[in-house]
A and B are shown apart, each in its own frame.
Chain A
Amino acid sequence: MAITREEVRHIAKLANLEFGEEEQERFTRQLGAILDYVAQLDRLDTREVEPTSHAGGSSEMRDDALGPSLDRDAALANAPESGRGLFKVPRVIG
């Protein structure tokens, strides 16, 4: 198996997700199968090949100029909880 249950728990923590016992078991099995499958890339010698991060799309810098943006009320309109012009969250430090 390409991945252990312990690793699945660790990755879940990194991803801010939590799983029950049964789900952990299923994910370990399914991720293991997918990782076994993608391991076929090891057959290629890629040491001399440059990586591609974007397929030819230009990626350009814009001028650092002020422009119109969302007003505060519109930006807050979808918040589960807001008040006094701010997003509200539970306390951060116990």
Chain B
Amino acid sequence: MDARIGIRNTKSVLFKGLIIFLAFIITIPLIIILLYIIKQGVLQVNWHFLTNVPAPVGETGGGISNALVGSLIIVTMSSIIAIPVGILAGIYLSENPHTKLAYYSGLCVDILQGVPSIVVGIVVYFWVVKPLGTFSAISGSIALAIMMLPIVIRSTEQTLKLLPDTLKEAALSLGVPYHRVILKVIIPCGFAGILSGIMLSVARIAGETAPLLFTAFGNPYLSTAITKPMQSLPLLIFNYATSPYDDWHNLAWGASFILLMFVLLLNIFTKLITRKWNIQL
């Protein structure tokens, strides 16, 4: 009897040890990637790097200002397109979970989430770039907005579903019309969750390359015209890392470092916001 208990205890300890070990293992890839990119990229980054366009082949120096500005513009435009639509669709799904429309649009959201980003790029190329006759920042933004949508919709839906129905009833019983219940009670109460979904979706699209290849296309010069080709960080990394020049490789490492930091900070910031603004029900 005692021996059997001993064996069972040993198994428990081994099992616990195993899951702790595996939980530790999964942090290793991230740490290695982080350390490597920091090592390669951090020395490239200085004021000159952030405020200048890439130097032509043969000249040293140069920076990534065109990609920084481009990424900022493209991501902002994508957010402007995707966030309102995503939040409203998420509200519909959480408010009317049993309708046919909710079933099918929920299905579409899931499928959209699984569509490879390069396919989104091609579709936008045929729908927007070809009719307009030119690569443009706006087409890139549309492609990224499509990538953003499912994340915003699902996170809004999940957040709002967790709010108790009694909250809505409380507002309705005071004679508050439905649209104001949503705007003044439901959205404020779920704000932290909705916001964190938005930030995660921004972090996700900031690094997307494939949808931009044949939409925003890239641009070696600083451009703020949204109907013209525009550079972005992932495009710059893609183009310069595959070039044969060492100077350009360094530029790509520096840009990788900046992009990684942006995504990392956005994630940390999201965690902080969720903790601080989370409403105690």
A and B from one complex = no
Residues of A with Cβ closer than 8 Å to B? none
* Residues of B near any A CB (own CB < 8 A): none
